[in-house]
Structure formats: structure tokens, C-alpha cells
Structure 1
């Protein structure tokens, strides 16, 4: 089976030491990416660790396909203990970082400990250096990129950085790369902030010996280049009007299901501001959205659909420039746009200020710096909703995305049982329900399909392959690329999901945590069916550890 090649480098930022560990045996079993990082985290992060404590660890990892030039592979994985959900969590980001990471010769970077001063970590193919960067305290993500360019000749494609939100331990702070690509959900940027790590750079010329079949790469690349998919022009924002007209676009903090201003902030509005094509590394699909408002001079990348929802319809804001401005603010300050936007929407609901985009942007900046009411909102919606006097629209502490589980019941079931909380990409039941393959209504009979979709998503995060590649990288291509049967590959995904759940079980997660903030039909029966299909007991607990890792150098 095709897998990543290269050692793990452990960086202790407290001791300023590094060491290299061979993980070949693990990679042969789990491929790389999310699966490798999850297995390592499960073994090496104590089950009783504090998310902001020095014992928490952050893993950056690639899959074997980052050693190709294939479309849909310009991505990396990040894994750690989430300060938002209090469980094990993985996120991935696009851009151009992954090839520079591969150039260091590593398959995994592990960051542990806690520094007594703000650090930049520079990882190269010949070693690691630590740089104290007190001058970057409070710097935005673009300001950090400017420093690295001026002092080290490294662009943002070489870097993972946090903004003020990460330094201030905002529980939904993102880690950013290429200035606008986010390891977004779950607050792993805040974990780096707790470790006093401002940024990590990667540079090297190693060419790992991984043999990837050439024909599928060429065919997939050609199909991506020739696609006329709407997402290539409008990104995910292109679905805004369709979802608003036919399903549900949560509006004014979930009080309504249709937004009268959808067309003003949707796909065509975003496309009208797009001034050039944008892509991730080696990808011919080029779905990114460099946008500019000529009147104000504002430039950003996006917004994508989830930001159109969280800073648009959910806040009652109908001006695409306002949504663009909020998007740029979150990227610059280093925050997940979904959690930030939903939390701000909750505040607007509490003071009856829907549509006040200026206030929303003011609140967003205050959250990143924990100023005034921002101190409360920075804790995340699950921790502050009582103070605001509003309903808690989260699952396991993570704010709900746009795809409404009150209408897409299979997606609602997915939110309930997801190890990551309310994350629409943990298992994309939404695609099946929007597209008509599954009836959106009802949960009965959907559990087995949900297990399959979770396994596929975990496999793609392990490869690593962009979610947009699902339409192009077929089962047959996967078997050829990875030199393995499809069922064998899905088993890697299944073990990854089980490892996440087992870790969370040890932290006290059980059936009581698999719930929703609203009612949908037959939810409890569907959860029971999911447990049976996943091999869990009736309390949602993994009967025994599904995979023993035991890296010899574990400390």
C-alpha cells in the first residue's frame, strides 16, 4: 500500500530540543496524513491532558500524494487536542505549504511543550532552529508573513502562522498558511498560541522515494483542468441561492430558514468581485477566489459559502463587501470564520442588532484581542450562550455550519455523532441529500451510509486529497494510486475514526455528547443504529483500543 515516507521530527519548544524518530512501521499501516497524526496523538497525548497545557501536542503531516504533482493534493493535515471541543481533532488546509513540508524530508512534525517566549520555528532539511520573535507579539498573519519575507526570504507558502487570536487563546483560533488558507475548525491555532509558537516555516530540497502511478495523475489533472464545474468560478459560494431556494439557509441566528438577501451575497455576487484565478499547489481545478472591491480597495480570498452564511445570512447582512471585509478580518487575525461568525451572530441576536455589519466587524476584532465583550465571546458559543441569553447552537462545543440538519436529517445525524462536533466535512451526507441520492427527510436507514461517508472522508484526509476531488478521484483511481483494494483503504479510514472516538471516550465522551440542539425524526434510534454499524457499545464507547501504536521514542 502506498504511504508517506520520512521520519517524524519532535520539537520541544520548552527545552529547545529536537529529535527524529522512524515511524515507517506506522506509515505502512496507516498511509499518512490524518490517520498517522491521529494514531500518534492517541498514543502520545495523555488522555487527561489540558488543551492549553504543555502536554498537548500538535501534529503537522502530509500524505503520500503530496509527493506527486496531481490536482487536488495541495493540502496538509493538523491534529491536536481541541480547546473548543475538548476532544481530539484534525483539520486540513490548502495552499502551497505541503510541497515545502515534503522538501524537509519529514512525514510528520510533532510540537510539544511550552516556550517562555514567543518563537518562530524554522524546519529545514538539515535541521531545526528556534528564533525568539518578541517583535511579532500581536502581529497579524500578513504582518508575520512580511517579517519572514524580509528576514528570511520565505513567502507565506513556507509558513504556518497564528494571528492575535491564537496568541490570546481564542478557542476557535485558526492556524493559517499562505495568509488566507486556514486549519480552521477547533482552535488548533490557540494551541500553538498556548505553546508560544507564532509561526513554523518549512524549507528543503528532499525528494522522498515514493513511486506513484503516472497515468491516474495525468488523467485526473486533465479532468480538473477541463471541468466546467460552477465551483471553479464561484467556489462553494455558488451554492448559496440553490440552498436558500430549495432547502434552508439559516438566517438571523437560526430563527429563519430563508434569507431575502441571498443573491446579494451568493455566488454571482462573489464572482463579480473575483479579479483573477486562484489555486492550491499543483491543482488545475483552480477554485480559489481572489476578490477585490474596486470602490474600497478591499482585497481578500473568498468568501466561501460558510462565510457567506456565518457573516451574511446568520447576521442579517446582505452586502457582499461587508462579508468580504469580515472574511479578511478573520484571516488576518487568525480565526475560523464559521465559529467567529456564528458567535457574533449570537451576540447580535442578544442585542437585536441584526444587519449591523459595522458592529459585527468591531466584535470580531475585539474577540481576537479579548477586549471588552470579546473576552466573553472568545470562549466560544457553548461557553458564552448563557451570558448572552440565547440558544446554544453547537455540537460538542463546535458551532453549527450552514448545512441545516433540521432540513437535511442525515447531515443532522452526522453532526450528532461526529467526533469533531458540528463539522460538515466530517462526513458529507449533505452532498447526497442536496443531490437527491438520499431523501433529506428522515434518519432511519442512513446509519450505515454515514459510517461509509465518515470512512471515505478520513481516507481522503489521509491521502491527502481535497474534498473537491471526490468527483474526480474515483474508487478505481484510489485503488491504482494506493496499490490497495478499496475496502482495505476504507479500513484505514474506519480505524482513524475509531481511534478519535476511543481517545475522546477516555476523556469522558459518551452517548450524552452525541446530541443536537434541535429535534429531528428518530434521532435516538438512528444513533443506536450508527453505534451498531460502527461497532460501538450502546453508550457510544469503543469496546477496546482499535490500534496500538507504541512508538519507541514516546516520552
Structure 2
């Protein structure tokens, strides 16, 4: 089986010590990426850890396909105990980092402890250097990249970085790479901020490119290069008007299902601002969206559909340039555009100020800097789940995570997916939205959809372990992926299921159960559908998984005896 290669590199920021540990068995079993990171996180983060405490650990992992020349493989995965959801969360980002990371000779990075001053860690194939950077306190993401370029001769493709939002423990702060690509959901930027880690750089030549089977590898690459998909011109915004007219584009903080100015912020509007092609590492698909407004000089990458929703329809803003400004602001300050935009939308609702894009940007910036005397910024930096009562608005989150654009009130299978997803209100966890939009299954109703939901969750766990871009699903088919990884499709689905189970078991041990598998709105037969899902997964009726089904995998790494003591009791 093809799997990621290289040891686990642990950075202990308290001791400023780096150690490399072989994890060949874990890599072989879980492939790489999210699968490997979840296995390690489950066994090495205490069940009772504080997300902002030194005992929390963040994992950055590559997969086997990041050593190849194949399209749709320029991504990496990141996992930690989330300060937004209080459970395990994995997120991934594209760009050019994965090949640089592999060049440093490692498969997985583990970050633990906490520094007493702001640091950058420089990782290469010879070792690790810790650089104190007190002058970068409060620096934006581009300012950190500039410092690294000047002092190390490395580009933003060599780095992961947090902005002011991460330093100030904004619960939806993200980790950036290449200045504009985000490990977006779950607040993992705040985890690095709590550890006083401003950035990590990667460089080296430890891993040469490898050959993978052909076919199907070069078929994938050739098809990506020659296809004429609308997404290559408009990214995910290409479906904005279709979704608005036929399903729902949540508008004015979920007050309405349709936005009258959708065309002004949709795919055609974005394409008009696109001024060149852009891709991720080794990918011929080139679906990125470098955009520029000549009149104002605003320049950014995107916005993608989720940002169009979060800073557009959700806030009642119908000008694509305003959405571009917000997108660039979040990239610069290091915040997830979905959670940031929806949180600001909740504030606009509380102030009856929908449509005020200037106010929205002002508040967004205040959130990131979170000044001591700014009570509003301090409140909103906690996210909707923790702020909604004081704002006097509904709590439109699942497990503390703000909803993505795909409306579970209309797409009932997607609503079920939100409810049971270990990560919370995120659209990428299973992606039931795709067959519902396409008419492959009826969007009405929840019963009878759990078998497909479980399969899609399992497949996406493998996708995030390989690691493969979600936008390449028409090219990187299950059959092709199985061929590339050297396992049968059934074996891969079993590995994916085990990753999902480990996430849920970790969250169960933190006291989470059926009460957390909930929605802030009613959809048909949701309680019965959740029980169908539990039965399909082999869970108890309360949504918990028996501990005997979870075998420890990290004992050989020297897990401290009693690491999980003090947490909710294992059953």
C-alpha cells in the first residue's frame, strides 16, 4: 500500500526541543494526513485537555500522493482539539506547502507545550531552529512572510503562519499558508497562538518525487488540464445563482432563503474580476481565483462561494468588491471567512444593520485585534455559540461551529450530516449537499439517507488522508484512488470508518453524546434519522461508541501513563 513516508517530528515548545520518532506502522495503517493525525491526536491529547492549554497538540500531516506529480494532490491536513467546537477537528489547505514539507524529511509534525515568548520554528532536513520573534507580535500574515523572506530566503509556500487573530485566541482563527490558503475551520490558528508559535517554515530535499501507477495517474493529470469545467473559471462561486434560485442561499443571518443580489456576488461577478490563472502544487486544474478590482485596487484570491455567502448574502451585502475586501482582510488577519462572516452577520442582525459592509469590515478587524477595552470584539471573538445570548439572536451553529452556506433547512440530508458530524456545522465532512443539489437523491426528508451519509463520511476521511482535493472527485474516482493507494475500495472505507470512530470516541470522552448531535431548526424525522445513523455506525442509542472498539496505536511512541486520567470515565 502507498502511504506517507518519514518520521513524526515533535516540537516541544516548552522545552524548545525537537525529536523524530518512526511511525511506520501508523502510516501504513492510516495512509497519512487526517487518518494518521487523528490516530495520534486520539492517543496523545488528554481527554480532559484545555484547547488553549499546553497539553493540547496540533498535527500537520502530509500523505503519499504529495510525493507525486498528480493533479489534485497539493494539499495538507491539520488536526487538533478545537477551541471552537471543544472536540477533535481536522481541516486542510491547498497551495504549495506539501512538497516543501515532504522535503524536510518528515510525514507528520506534532506541536506541543507552549513557549514563554513568540517563536518561529524553522524545520529542514538537517534539524530544527527556534527563532524568538518579539518584533512580530501582532504582525499580519503577509508581514510574517516578508520577515521570513528577508531573513531566511524562503517564500510563503514554505510556511504556516498565524495572524493577529491567532495570537489573540479568536476561536475561529485559522492557520495560513502561501498567504491566501487557509486551514480554515475549527480555530486551529488560536491553538498555535496559545502556544506562542507565530509560524513554522519547512525546507529541504529529503524526499524526491516518486512515480505512481500510470494509468490512472496521468489520465487524471491530462483530464484536469484539458477539461472545460466552469469551476476552472469561477471556482465554487459558479453555482451561486443556481443554489439561490432552486434551493437556498441563507440571507441576513438566516432570516431569508433567497438573496436578491445573488447575481452581483456570484460566479459571473467573480470571473469578471479574475485576472490570471492560479493552481495548487502540481495541479493542472487551476481553479483558484486571483481577483482584482481596477477601480479600487483591491486584490485578493477569491472569494469562493462560502465567503460570498458569509460576507455577502448572510450580511445583506450585494457588492462583490465589498466581499473581496472582507476576504482579503480575513486572509491578512488569519480568520476563517465562514465563522467570521456569520459571526459578524449575527452582530449586524442585533444592530439592524444588514448591508453595512463598512461596519462589517470594521468589526471584523476589531475581532482579530481583540483589544482589552473592546467588549464587543471580545464577545464576537468567541463565535456565535458563545455570543448569541448577549446579541439576542438564534444560535445557528452545530457543536459550536457556524454553518456553511448549504442550508440544511432545505437540503435535509445535509442537515442530518451537520447534526451528526464530529466536526460540527461544516459542509465538507460528508458532503450530502452534492447528490441533493444534483437531484441524485431527493433533498426532502432525512429517513433512509444514513447509509449514504456513512459512506460519504468514510470516503472523505480517506480523501483527507491521501490527501486529495475535494474538487477532483470527478477525476480522482474511488476506483482510481484505490489503484493509486494499492488497497481495495472496501479496505479504504474500513480505514475511513476507523478514523471517524476515533474522532467520535475522543469527543465522547469529553462528555459529548446525542445532546450534541442537534440542529437549531426542525427538519422532518430528524430524531429517527439520527438513530438510523447510529445504527449504521454501530453506535449506542445515546451516540457514544464502545471504548473496546478503539485500539491504541501510539503506545510505541511513549504515551505517558495516565494521560487520559481525569477525563470522563472510559466505558
The answer to whether the superposition gives a TM-score over 0.5 is: yes
Deviation, structure 1 residue 215: 2.4
1:493 pairs with 496, 500, 512, which one? 496
- Are 1:102 and 2:70 counterparts? no
Q: Is the 8 A contact 1:100 1:158 kept in 2?
A: yes
TM-score, length-scaled by structure 1:
0.99
1:209/1:352 CA distance change after superposition, 3 Å? closer
Q: Is the 8 A contact 1:95 1:279 kept in 2?
A: yes
In structure 1, the partner of 2:542 is 539
The within-5 A match list for 1:152-551 is 152-207=152-207, 212-371=212-371, 372=374, 373-544=376-547, 545-549=549-553, 550-551=555-556
Q: Give the Cα separation in 2 of the matches to 1:395 and 1:347.
A: 18
Secondary structure of the equivalent of 1:551? Answer: helix
Q: What do you get for the CA RMSD once the two structures are aligned? A: 0.9
1:552 pairs with 526, 542, 557, which one? 557
In structure 2, the partner of 1:66 is 66
Which stretches of structure 1, 4 residues or longer, exceed 3 Å deviation after superposition? 208-211
Question: Residue by residue, what CA displacement relative to the aligned partner does 1:417-461 show, whole Å, maximum 9, x if unpaired?
Answer: 000000000001000000011100000100111000000110100
Q: Is the 8 A contact 1:237 1:270 kept in 2?
A: yes
Structure 1 unmatched runs, 5+: none
Q: Give the Cα separation in 2 of the matches to 1:72 and 1:475.
A: 14
Q: Give the Cα separation in 2 of the matches to 1:551 and 1:122.
A: 27
Q: Is the 8 A contact 2:409 2:523 kept in 1?
A: yes
Q: Is the 8 A contact 2:343 2:383 kept in 1?
A: yes
Q: Give the Cα separation in 2 of the matches to 1:140 and 1:479.
A: 41
The within-5 A match list for 1:63-142 is 63-142=63-142
Secondary structure of the equivalent of 2:91? Answer: strand
Q: Give the Cα separation in 1 of the matches to 2:383 and 2:352.
A: 20
Question: Residue by residue, what CA displacement relative to the aligned partner does 1:62-81 show, whole Å, maximum 9, x if unpaired?
Answer: 01000101000000000000
Q: Give the Cα separation in 2 of the matches to 1:347 and 1:496.
A: 36
In structure 1, the partner of 2:25 is 25
Secondary structure of the equivalent of 2:473? Answer: helix
Structure 2 unmatched runs, 5+: 561-571
Q: Give the Cα separation in 2 of the matches to 1:229 and 1:551.
A: 47
Q: Give the Cα separation in 2 of the matches to 1:150 and 1:475.
A: 44
Deviation, structure 1 residue 24: 0.4
TM-score, length-scaled by structure 2:
0.96
Q: Is the 8 A contact 1:498 1:542 kept in 2?
A: yes
Q: Give the Cα separation in 1 of the matches to 2:379 and 2:115.
A: 26
Q: Is the 8 A contact 1:105 1:208 kept in 2?
A: no
Q: Give the Cα separation in 2 of the matches to 1:154 and 1:528.
A: 51
Deviation, structure 1 residue 208: 5.7
1:404/1:483 CA distance change after superposition, 3 Å? same
